[in-house]
Amino acid sequence: MFKIALCQLWVTSDKERNIVHARKAIEEAANKGAQLVLLPEIWNSPYSNDSFPVYAEDIDAGGDASPSTAMLSELSRNLQITIVGGSIPERSGDKLYNTCCVFGTDGKLKAKHRKIHLFDIDIPGQMTFKESLTLTAGDSPTIVDTGRIGIGICYDIQFQELAMLYAARGAHLLCYPGAFNMVTGPLHWELIQRARAADGQVVQRGIHPRSASNTLTLNPEMGRLTWFGVHNWQLFVATCSPARDTNASYVAWGHSSLVGPFGEVIATTEHEEAIIIEEIDYSLIDQRRTFLPFQKQRRGDLYQLVDVQRRNTELTK
């Protein structure tokens, strides 16, 4: 059991002010007992293609080149907490990414997730955004081993396979810093979080029971690997949005939330600034799996998910 804080922050065009503001929110959350703090997507900069290149930091260079992550590292060490640092625009060589850094209680960078699915949508007359005009997509799923935490950034949540992959790798909690908008927010934000929490059912590497009775045909593409065996792994999902600024060019939906492994909304908020602090009890995951024993019922002989990254690693061994 531990306490998580979701800091729904008001973000301005003043980067220094945004950093000071995030610092205060993290300190307040830690003072109230949070051991894990989650920040919003793009919390040090306005969310716009014009701003990303201007506010981007060289995270790998650290120090003065990345004041935002320097602050997160310092605080995680001083306060002895884990920080899933929302996301900031990252500059790496001539590329820009939308990047989430995770700092452990020793202040060290434990993981860096670059948004895998860029937010390129066009709903005529309602919502058009094209992150790919300035940003490059990351190419790696990110799981923080120590905390069993899978990381995605906003639009990444739309892709169920990523959540399933994290569940397959042992994640108990998925953290999505995210800034949904006023069109898709009301429709999808809560729906998708609850779905990701409840449907984290995965096919895991192993032998499916039916293979013993020869009713299973191996996919030849998979060679000697047997990617069968079925688990369902409902888990916790935490999201954190910027607060809503109706004067901004991109207006965020807000409604940061924590969802439990039954798909239940444990805590949520409206669109103003807020710090949600709530307890996460991983033992609920086992209980939920017992209540709904999908793992015994799933037809792994008919459909399956392949962890491409892991399969490719094994094939090259």
Ligand X SMILES: NC(=O)CCC(=O)C(=O)O
Q: Positive or negative, the Cα torsion across 77, 78, 84, 85?
A: negative
Is there binding between residue 180 and ligand X (CB under 6 A)? yes
Strand partners, 202: 231
Stretches 70-78, 86-94, 178-186, 236-244: which one binds ligand X (CB under 6 A)? 178-186
- The site map against ligand X for 16-55 (x = CB under 6 A) is -------------------------x--------------
- Classify residue 255 as left (phi > 0), alpha (psi -120 to 50) or beta: left
Q: What are phi and psi of 88, to 5 degrees?
A: -135, 160
Check residue 165 for interaction with ligand X (CB under 6 A).
Answer: no
In whole angstroms, what is the distance from residue 61 CA to residue 284 CA? 41
Residue 236 belongs to what H/E stretch? strand 236-240
**3 state DSSP class of 241:** coil
**Do 249 and 46 form a contact (C-beta atoms < 8 A)?**
yes
Catalytic (active site) residue 41: yes
Q: With binding defined as CB under 6 A, does residue 100 bind ligand X?
A: no
Stretch that binds ligand X, among 132-140, 176-184, 221-229, 273-281 (CB under 6 A): 176-184
Rounded Cα–Cα distance for residues 195 and 261 (Å): 10
Coil, helix or strand at residue 129: strand
| Minimum distance from residue 10 beta carbon to ligand X (Å) | 17
Determine, following the binding rule CB under 6 A, whether residue 154 of this chain makes contact with ligand X.
yes
Residue 130 annotated as catalytic? no
Q: Of the two residues 41 and 190, which places its CB atom closer to ligand X in the complex?
A: 41
* Closest distance of CB 72 from ligand X, Å: 20
Binding segment for ligand X (CB under 6 A), chosen from 17-25, 101-109, 153-161, 207-215, is 153-161
| Contact stretch for ligand X (CB under 6 A) within 139-147, 150-158, 238-246, 293-301 | 150-158
Q: Is 115 a catalytic residue?
A: yes
Residue 250, helix vs strand vs coil: coil
Select 162 or 203, whichever has its Cβ closest to ligand X. Answer: 162
155 binds ligand X (CB under 6 A): yes
* Residue from 44, 73, 184, 204 binding ligand X (CB under 6 A): 184
Contact status: 179 vs ligand X (CB under 6 A)? yes
Nearer to ligand X, 81 or 154 (CB): 154
Tokens of 145: 């081993």
Task: Verify binding: residue 181, ligand X, rule CB under 6 A.
Answer: yes
* Residue 17, both tokens: 């002010």
CB atoms within 10 A of CB 184: 18
End-to-end Cα separation, the chain, in angstroms? 38
**Spatial contact of 287 and 208, defined as CB atoms under 8 Å apart:** no
Least gap, CB of 70 to ligand X (angstroms): 25
Chain residues binding ligand X by CB under 6 A are 41, 119, 154-155, 158, 179-181, 184, 188
Give the residue numbers annotated as catalytic, written as ranges: 41, 115, 154
